[in-house]
Structure 1
């Protein structure tokens, strides 16, 4: 249907939900969650019910609703149910503080809040501070009674009709937002359009992962992250495959048990989790059956080569390291099946373009470090209400990722850190990632983060914050041993002049190391070298 002024109508819920039923997959399992087996037909009905219940409450196209929900089927129902009627769902992190939810609600001007009961219990005292909010819909999993000023999700769902027509959206309508975790400053509302998920599916999922109806996906990264949203939801649904949802936080024991129970074929993890799983298996001596996996994926930060080799040796399955972003929706540079260059981020995903540029935007030659810029049709429409940042980051078709990279002669891209993380030591660029990967090869090092610190003479030197493995003593001798280890492996000017042992590195919920917090520690302590 093409109505005057609308263009060709397009709604993402039709592709990812309705089309599977039309293709005869209605009885196939779409979602595995605990002991539930939810078919594509049952999923379609629940999505339609959510859309109808929102319409009954008065929601119209382009209204926004904040979604604060754990990785359970209700997340999927709500996400696609809202989009099917043109309402814009905004999934956000379920592990934030009350002040963060106040920010999300007021910044987005969301009309509705769909929230899990345990999280609502922690923030309901702030209700009067939510300036634009009209409806609170609580997802209950207990017998507790709700106050009269909120709605019960399941009660509304049961009363809603199971038939629903798509709204007259088009491919360039706002479909959903994601808030970027960001390394500094307030989170940014990233606006994605209805066609973006299909583009990411057809590029990365189908051409790199070779996903098919036979696959079963498990994502340790949660659905409110761009990485988890693809791996745990719209990739499997878009391929007519199945997904396994896990409400709990992804600790090693939970993930190992989930893989053994549900036998996924594709696993999406992050480097920190792979390291924890390896360490857990070695320490406990437990043997886990991961034979169902045909491929593993890593993103969020660069995968250290040492982790790849240990995982491959233990479980005989490859990890495809890649780089994506909230703005790009998913991975745009990746290693791929039968084409892995250990330590690199891989090659450009078909459907994207990437280049390395200098500070003036001129493309740099092979093997020269510069700024990574990309283009592809699932890159975000822009940031919400951030005019200056939009001008800085979205330049015509190109998006400035904020990452430092170089490309080698064979077309593989090598991560060198964030633009504000690169260190210039003695007039030469030093990649903190290279130093970190070197230290991680030492038998006593569990985790490490390298930043630059200014000495009294204003010159910058590398400093390593090191988490030692359990049972290793934090001694001056160990510091000197690690410095010598780096000198023997890398060019001598790259070794960390200062090493500080720390119990735990500050990280985002996605597992990214927050180097800016390490810099803040230095400022607070007024350290001078």
Structure 2
């Protein structure tokens, strides 16, 4: 059986190709060349071996996007140990749930995030030690001190491409997160398909991702893809606000900017930044997490002169499997299947639906995870042989383009006709008063489901006649039966850390 370790392909190959002195990462404070990253990953591998962590055991990462993240992630995989990056915005009890679920032997945590877990680490029976990235160890081990003790040489473990490499926990847009087990071969699968054949990433690219490394989208953007070609990546440990993103665009002149729809919209609509001229070096942008509204894509192109490649991916499939491509972009659609991926749309009986009809998307993917940890029933209902059930509803047009309709559990029928929350939301945000919108079903007095909208308004909007104006606006845009019967103005919408609207929380609120 031929051995394959993803770290050899992603990292060591660059040093062997003569890129050892090239900048791999900067986090605005520290820098790592490709050789420096290779050495740090070897030190991490040696440290984990000294701590007694064995092959295929898990180590958890609650780490901000600094140069320490790729060093720990790659170092663990180099040793055949499974890193588990976790959402940095969870609560203490959510961390307790995930740490117990994955049975992590070691927890790597950024200094700024340690206060969230300080009261739970002592009650994790499988956790042997905590290693803090930063200056204060809080009585635990300090990452810098531990690595200083180790050699920068390590014989990479001869893993297999089908061996567990890392886990990612789903973002929880529909409930509690689930641990998805990914394999050593999955990283190259995403790089050789989407990154190479759609994005066209190059060695001379400078990459900036708003999505964080713990998220499948961000992991591809800021680790798999740039390392696959020897590019340079800018890491940002802070919250990706429009002001900060413009600052980083100005300072580093990235050529690829990976964003999410809510951020693109916010960057366009922040009045204090409307004269901002950043982004002159950009050659392409990408969007995922949720479907990009047509109005946002067109406005971004008009403002910055560069396209956004809107696509769809998932934690289960690791990155984007359906995308628009350079030179063939239709805003409002998610494009066509990425080369190497196959897509089906099926009805409730599992039969393929014709063009123009809504169906649930199934994907045949080289990057699919091997299942959920400790959730056999959910694994069997999602990973169906070669096909993965995404839970997304789509419609395909005659040109083979796919348009997002909503999550399977978000869709509902009005007068016997399917209504897509995303379609109603997209219509609402084209109104000049609306910044964001989310739509869920609500029962009317007769018990029939109708759309209810939650909207975030732009500043200084007159609300006196707004509700009726918005209803009429939607009727004119997409049809009289789809308009929201109820509209509630809110300050913000519940979202995951990756920008996905958590409609299930709105549904729970509407039903109470």
TM-score, normalised via structure 1 length: 0.95
Q: Write out per-residue CA displacement over residues 125-152 of structure 1, whole angstroms, 9 at most, x where no aligned residue.
A: 2223212111211112x3x4632xx211
| 8 Å contact from structure 1 (residues 333, 346) kept in 2 | yes
Structure 1 counterpart of 2:252: 262
Structure 1 counterpart of 2:508: 520
Which residue, out of 71, 79, 89, partners 1:95? 89
Of stretches 316-325 and 488-497 in structure 1, the one that deviates more from structure 2 is 488-497
Structure 1 counterpart of 2:196: 206
Q: Distance in 2 between matches of 1:284 and 1:13?
A: 40
Structure 2 counterpart of 1:17: 11
SS in 1 for 2:481: helix
SS in 2 for 1:70: coil
Q: Does 1:119 align with 2:136?
A: no
| 8 Å contact from structure 2 (residues 58, 103) kept in 1 | yes
Q: Distance in 2 between matches of 1:145 and 1:314?
A: 46
Structure 1 counterpart of 2:37: 43
Q: Does 1:509 align with 2:501?
A: no
Q: Distance in 2 between matches of 1:489 and 1:200?
A: 37
Q: Does 1:485 align with 2:477?
A: no
Structure 2 counterpart of 1:184: 174
Q: Does 1:175 align with 2:162?
A: no
Q: Does 1:422 align with 2:414?
A: no
Which residue, out of 417, 421, 429, partners 1:432? 421
Which residue, out of 293, 301, 316, partners 2:305? 316
Cα 1:22–1:362 change in 2 (3 A) is same
Q: Does 1:411 align with 2:405?
A: no
The within-5 A match list for 1:324-363 is 324-363=313-352
Which residue, out of 78, 99, 105, partners 1:105? 99
| 8 Å contact from structure 2 (residues 30, 67) kept in 1 | no
| 8 Å contact from structure 2 (residues 395, 404) kept in 1 | yes
- CA drift of 1:383 comes to 0.2
Q: Which runs of 5+ in 1 are unaligned?
A: 1-6, 525-529
- CA drift of 1:182 comes to 2.4
Which residue, out of 492, 498, 501, partners 2:486? 498
Q: Which runs of 5+ in 2 are unaligned?
A: none
SS in 1 for 2:19: coil
SS in 2 for 1:291: coil
| 8 Å contact from structure 1 (residues 474, 501) kept in 2 | no
Q: How many correspondences in the alignment?
A: 512
- CA drift of 1:36 comes to 3.3
| 8 Å contact from structure 2 (residues 131, 137) kept in 1 | no
Q: Distance in 2 between matches of 1:224 and 1:113?
A: 14
- CA drift of 1:35 comes to 4.2
Q: Which structure 1 residue ranges, 4+ long, deviate > 4 Å from structure 2? A: none
Q: Write out per-residue CA displacement over residues 452-490 of structure 1, whole angstroms, 9 at most, x where no aligned residue.
A: 111121211111111111111333x21001111111222
Of stretches 371-380 and 514-523 in structure 1, the one that deviates more from structure 2 is 514-523
Which residue, out of 122, 133, 136, partners 1:139? 133
Which residue, out of 279, 287, 302, partners 1:290? 279
Q: Does 1:80 align with 2:68?
A: no
Q: Distance in 2 between matches of 1:91 and 1:181?
A: 12
TM-score, normalised via structure 2 length: 0.98
Structure 2 counterpart of 1:447: 436
| 8 Å contact from structure 1 (residues 71, 245) kept in 2 | yes
- CA drift of 1:506 comes to 1.0
